[in-house]
Structure 1
Amino acid sequence: MKNNRRDFLKVAGIAGVGVVSSSMLSSLASCTDSNQGTKAPVVDNETLDPTKQSIIGLYGPWASSLIDNKVPSHSFRNTKWQNIDQWKASANERILDRLGIPDIGGTPQVTVKKQYEYDGLHIEELSWQLPYGRPTEAILLKPANAKGTLPGILAFHDHGANKYFGTRKITRTSEKQHPDIVEHQKKYYSGMAWANEIAKRGYVVLVADAFPFASRRVMMQDIPANMREGLSDKDPENSENIKAYNNWASDHEHIMAKSLFCAGTTWPGVFFAEDQKALDVLCARKDVNPDQVGCAGLSGGGMRTVFMGGLDSRIKCAVCVGFMTTWKDLILNKSFTHTWMTYVPVLPKEMDFPEILGLRAPLPTLVLNDSEDELYTLPEMQNADKILKEVYTKAKAEDKYKCSYYPGPHKFDKDMQKEAFDWFDQWLKV
């Protein structure tokens, strides 16, 4: 019964109003034939001005107009804000309220599961238990034989439509890698494990599985049998099983998002809460200088950088890669290319998306974009850059903000990594 209903809804979604039009045509015809109604205007899609087209049809321009050409109420660009500290206090309070960040306790107790050396690095396999779900697994990397305290990096793995993997996407801990990870790193990172590469420069780097990826993913045994679609948790490392799980997890996103909304929280709020625990763990280490900590990530990791970099002042340097645009871009063009993990209800009236990251001004911030990134339009990436420049200019910190564009599609390649690592060296090794 459930499958039949879902199939019907899929057909309805494809057919649009055609599904119901057969039951309405006769009444509509009689209405117009008897001159009792007004004929609806005919819109010729072949001749419609492309600038008026959107992913939600004729509703796009109206929806965009709700926030377009307006300086949001809690934007530092708004003339009512002249004192940066007063603006930050008010804007932080507002966004924290909108996020609905859950209270998940203090710094978790960390278990060191394993320690070893590989590729010139000291590596620790860590875990900690949050008040809910299975333990979070994490990888810590730093130069072998490092002495004293070092600057720290909270490294965020990407989304990549792959919830089976987490930390492994951006690390390498042995010569043996899963073939899916080899391909993932080749596609997005020039074959590099970027967390390893930045650690080699003299950093303590922490990478933790995000909610709900890898160790934090939704397991089949924990959901009702009628939702499993024949999947199980057996033989999980098989590539076909991983693909099947990731397809299921993608379809499950709207369920997770709706449930979180019903719980009075948001997906970005849960991300932030869990990422903040990882930051607590990193800053509490004796080998880390807590006054020299940065964060970075590609794609979903870039989105997490926006919130963590914008809202936690312990992040002294932030590098957002492949996740910078405006709410307008998502309204009209690109919301369908993004996960449910991105959205914060009501906030767009109060802050444009880049202004979340702008909350960290005047602290150093680097944004790296790909000019052919299929997840955004280039004009709105450029508008986001303009917004952040305005924020940093008003904060009298123009030298602390930089945005660079690289040719090609969505990625964090070797050249982009070099600029990111040089930026960290410039601001954290002082």
Structure 2
Amino acid sequence: MTSGNPWDNGRRDFFKTSFAAAIPFLMNEDLMPDIISSEPTFSSDGSMAAQKSIIGGYGAWAASLLKPVPSLSYRNPKWKDIKGWHNEALAKAKELIASPERGGLPQVNLEKKYIYDGLEIEELWWQLPYGRATRAVLLKPQGATKPLPAILALHDHGGKKYFGYRKIVKTSDEQHPLLKDHQATDYGGKAWANEVAKRGYAVLVHDTFTFGSRRVYYEDVHGLDWGELNVTNKTDENPEDSEHVEIYNRWSGAHEHVMSKSLFCAGTTWPGVFLSEDQTALDILASRKDIDPERIGCGGLSGGGLRTVYLGGLDPRIKCAVCVGFMTTWADLILTKSFTHTWMTYTPLLPQYLDFPEILGLRVPLPTLVQNNNQDELYTLSEMKRADVVLGEVYKKAGASDKYLAKFYDGEHKFDTQMQADAFNWFDKWLK
């Protein structure tokens, strides 16, 4: 903590900018510390059963709607055969996540190629059937000649939707001050995509839906009050001016509920759109001649951890997954922490069938590492540990306990250099 006011900590930007703008009540600083520090109570079986919660007296009732072991949980004793369970659970998860059709492999365009930081870097772009072009970078060790294991590096949310892949890479000595600050607070001052590439991986990092090149542009929106986004801001000759970027980030956070409702009305979900776009990036990565398609992993912090849950859980081409700073239970989100999370988290009705960690557990017995921070303000520690128990039981029942590991670190929401070293070692263990 850097301040007595929990909203002053830069690492809380993930929900400070994304949600406070949309929920004015949460901007009452006299109330926020009580909300954030409130601890749930527990029933005799250890489950969360708060009489007071973020939804008032309805919390215990809402939590009671969850089954301790959902019907499609592999922990459910009715499931004896892992293949039969997996087929049914995966089909239901795909149905509810409702990803839009991806179409075929898009044409990948090379915009620029150069050497930096001991890496060969390709700046790429491709066009999906909707929205503006997706921009990405591919990094690999300079001089590599044989097909490499690969990582699909998934950028975070961080309350910074103006930027996407640039939050976890560095492609020149010149770096936007907001990106430099973000890497300092959340990544130990490192561009982690560069660091893992140096260990012998081809690493693809792309902008995803509503971030960076895929963000919602001012000129494309009609029918909303722009507030502080005045004409000057919309036509700024220097759109990457820090003030301009931060104004955009505040607006885009407040816009999330609009986007989410519109996606629901279209018959899809935000996790479904993420999954579709991340799978297209995976298609592109797997199709390259310079990588080994049987040795592809993925990982990311926060919003990147969320994307790892869905991509790693639903696509078996991900042979090794590292979820950082995004693991808890649905009960935690019902009673304590839903307001700290983006609308991008939720798949309606899925909690009837799987607890949150069991989405990632759909990948069993493929190798999976989950990294948690003990003082992470986005979750309740006891529920992070409960999620570890859930995943541990899934892997144990599958006879694959050696393929699952959860680690807990002191500190707040982050993917620091020690965590990166452990994550990279996990990739090395299973992909090399």
- 2:408 and 2:342 map into 1 onto residues whose CA distance is 23
Within-5 A mapping of 1:107-186: 107-186=105-184
- 1:175 and 1:14 map into 2 onto residues whose CA distance is 37
Q: Is structure 2 residue 272 aligned with structure 1 residue 269?
A: yes
Residue identity in the other structure for 1:55: I
Residue identity in the other structure for 1:75: S
Identity of aligned residues (%): 60
User: What's 1:247 paired with?
Assistant: 250
Helix, strand or coil for the counterpart of 2:251?
helix
Within-5 A mapping of 1:307-326: 307-326=310-329
- 1:106 and 1:370 map into 2 onto residues whose CA distance is 39
Give, in angstroms, the shift of residue 228 of structure 1. 3.0
Residue identity in the other structure for 1:61: A
Residue identity in the other structure for 2:99: I
Helix, strand or coil for the counterpart of 2:255?
helix
Unaligned runs of 5+ in 2: 1-21, 29-39, 43-49
- 1:246 and 1:417 map into 2 onto residues whose CA distance is 27
Helix, strand or coil for the counterpart of 2:156?
coil
| 1:226–1:78 Cα change, 3 Å | closer
Residue identity in the other structure for 1:52: Q
Residue identity in the other structure for 1:376: Y
1:331 maps to which of 330, 334, 338: 334
Helix, strand or coil for the counterpart of 2:122?
strand
Q: Contact 1:151–1:288 at 8 Å: present in 2 too? A: yes
- 1:228 and 1:274 map into 2 onto residues whose CA distance is 28
Q: Is structure 2 residue 395 aligned with structure 1 residue 392?
A: yes
Residue identity in the other structure for 2:136: A
**Matched residue count:** 389
Within-5 A mapping of 1:2-17: none
Helix, strand or coil for the counterpart of 1:248?
helix
| 1:86–1:135 Cα change, 3 Å | same
Helix, strand or coil for the counterpart of 1:153?
strand
Within-5 A mapping of 1:301-380: 301-380=304-383
User: What's 1:60 paired with?
Assistant: 59
Within-5 A mapping of 1:36-115: 51-68=50-67, 70-115=68-113
- Provide the TM-score with structure 1 as the length reference: 0.88
- 2:26 and 2:176 map into 1 onto residues whose CA distance is 38
Give, in angstroms, the shift of residue 108 of structure 1. 1.1
- 1:327 and 1:110 map into 2 onto residues whose CA distance is 38
Q: Contact 1:220–1:233 at 8 Å: present in 2 too? A: no
- Provide the TM-score with structure 2 as the length reference: 0.88
User: What's 1:189 paired with?
Assistant: 187
Q: Contact 1:154–1:295 at 8 Å: present in 2 too? A: yes
- Return 51-60 or 412-421, whichever deviates more: 51-60
- 1:287 and 1:312 map into 2 onto residues whose CA distance is 21
- 2:41 and 2:190 map into 1 onto residues whose CA distance is 44
Alignment RMSD (CA, Å) = 1.9
- 2:108 and 2:316 map into 1 onto residues whose CA distance is 23
Residue identity in the other structure for 1:116: Y
Unaligned runs of 5+ in 1: 1-8, 16-47
Give, in angstroms, the shift of residue 227 of structure 1. 3.4
Give, in angstroms, the shift of residue 13 of structure 1. 9.8
Q: Contact 1:221–1:233 at 8 Å: present in 2 too? A: no
Q: Is structure 2 residue 385 aligned with structure 1 residue 382?
A: yes
Helix, strand or coil for the counterpart of 2:261?
helix
Helix, strand or coil for the counterpart of 1:227?
coil
Greater C-alpha Rg: 1
- 1:233 and 1:207 map into 2 onto residues whose CA distance is 29
